[in-house]
């Protein structure tokens, strides 16, 4: 059987993600699905035509039919309404809940064994919704957040020090939003703790810029939102799953007591392999970092409760 990956939503994030997956030959077939068939088909054809130039032969199919999603190994959900300047992720919750619920129902119908990677905002709540609607085990519903936030932190630390971001290792956990939790104790530059290289007030400023990284780009673009870095983060997660890498990456996952957190989706260190989320790793957080993570969880919980009310009202 061909390894099929579906990307739902052919906007900037979805289209760029499909292109990255095709170019990296992650999966033998990429399905790009959108309610506007012409957009999905046009972008898919454009990607296929780039293949001979870039050296890949991945099959890319653009469609508006969920029948083409059948038997997808991984399904990436990017569809939904984007944030506008000044809009919080939380304000998107009920609007995008309607969209995501309909999508997940169809995905379960045609691809009941798929692994769902949620990208739609507000991320933590949408992952929770997907898990509730699908009935999938927690291993097969994860969200893309921490890989992106960690990349932003690495970038800003590198800018502060005037070095390559490849020399920076960082982990960002918690909500994909205002209560994001950077982990300074585990942030290093070529093995050296970042606290030894950047004064606390400057490091705090770097972390705050990371927290508002998406908003910064949103305000610069005026219309639309980020898509290059998010699509790169999604591709990294897909690669870890497809190649069974057992790689530890910060992802949104359903906690069942880990870090003292239960019954919500939140960004935690996850081992990714061919079965999806194969475990949540326990990191040696400082008491302050653990407290911040639990505070972030407390901020997410009302969103999950709102999702429960939404589902009961359907």
Q: Are residues 225 and 262 in the same domain?
A: yes
Task: Give one DSSP letter per residue of the chain, joined into a string.
Answer: ---EEEEE--SHHHHHHHHHHHHTT-SSEEEEE-SSHHHHHHHHHHHHHHHHHHT---EEEEES-GGGGTT-SEEEE--SPPP-TT--TGGGHHHHHHHHHHHHHHHHHH-TTPEEEE-SSSHHHHHHHHHHHH---GGGEEE--HHHHHHHHHHHHHHHHTS-GGGEE--EEE-SSTTEEE-GGG-EETTEEGGGTS-HHHHHHHHHHHHTHHHHHHHHHSSS---HHHHHHHHHHHHHHHTT--EEEEEEEEEESGGG-EEEEEEEEEEEETTEEEEE------HHHHHHHHHHHHHHHHHHHHHHHHHHT-
Q: Are residues 119 and 177 in the same domain?
A: no
Give the pLDDT band (50/70/90) at residue 111: very high
Domain end, chosen from 94, 127, 143, is at 143
Q: Are residues 292 and 196 in the same domain?
A: yes
Q: At 252, which CATH number?
A: 3.90.110.10
Please check the confidence at residue 46 and state whether its pLDDT lies above 70: yes
Q: What is the pLDDT of residue 2?
A: 66
Q: Are residues 209 and 303 in the same domain?
A: yes
Q: What is the pLDDT of residue 222?
A: 84
Task: Encode pLDDT of 65-94 as tens digits.
Answer: 999 999 999 999 999 987 666 766 667 899
Share of the chain above pLDDT 70, in %: 97
Q: Which domain holds residue 224?
A: 146-309
Q: Are residues 89 and 199 in the same domain?
A: no
- Please identify which of the residues 154, 176, 211, 236 carries the catalytic annotation: 176
Residue 314 inside a domain? The answer is: no
Domain end, chosen from 112, 143, 174, is at 143
Residue 154 inside a domain? The answer is: yes
Determine whether 176 is an active site residue: yes
Q: What is the pLDDT of residue 257?
A: 97
Domain count along the chain: 2
Residue 194 inside a domain? The answer is: yes
Task: Encode pLDDT of 2-28 as tens digits.
Answer: 699 999 999 999 999 999 999 999 999
Task: Encode pLDDT of 232-290 as tens digits.
Answer: 999 999 999 999 999 999 999 999 999 999 999 999 999 999 999 999 999 999 999 99
């Amino acid at each position: 059987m061909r390894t099929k990956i579906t990307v739902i939503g052919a906007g900037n994030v979805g289209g760029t993600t499909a292109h990255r997956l095709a170019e990296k030959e992650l999966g033998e077939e990429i399905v790009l699905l959108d309610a506007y068939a012409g957009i999905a088909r046009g972008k898919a054809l454009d990607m296929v035509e780039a293949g001979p130039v870039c050296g890949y032969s991945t099959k890319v199919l653009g469609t508006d039919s969920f029948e083409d999603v059948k038997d997808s190994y991984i399904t990436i959900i990017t569809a939904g309404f984007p944030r506008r300047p000044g809009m919080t992720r939380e304000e998107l919750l009920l609007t995008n809940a309607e969209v995501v619920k309909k999508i997940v129902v169809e995905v379960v119908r045609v691809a009941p064994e798929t692994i769902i990677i949620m990208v739609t905002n507000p991320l933590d709540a949408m992952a929770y919704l997907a898990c509730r609607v699908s009935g999938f085990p927690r291993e097969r519903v994860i969200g893309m957040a921490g890989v992106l936030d960690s990349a932003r932190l690495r970038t800003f630390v590198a800018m502060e020090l005037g070095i390559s971001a490849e020399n920076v290792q960082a982990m960002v956990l918690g909500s994909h939003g205002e209560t994001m939790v950077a982990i300074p104790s585990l942030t290093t530059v070529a093995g050296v703790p970042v606290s030894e290289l950047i004064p606390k007030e400057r490091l705090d400023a770097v972390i705050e810029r990371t927290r508002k990284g998406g908003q910064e780009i949103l305000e610069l673009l005026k219309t639309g939102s980020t898509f290059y870095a998010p699509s790169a983060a999604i591709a990294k997660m897909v690669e870890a799953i497809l190649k069974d890498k057992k790689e530890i990456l910060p992802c949104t996952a359903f906690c069942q007591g880990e870090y003292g957190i239960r019954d919500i989706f939140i960004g935690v260190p996850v081992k990714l392999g061919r079965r999806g989320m194969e475990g949540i790793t326990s990191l040696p957080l400082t008491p302050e970092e653990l407290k911040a993570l639990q505070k972030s969880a407390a901020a997410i919980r009302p969103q999950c409760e709102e999702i429960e009310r939404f589902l009961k009202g359907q």
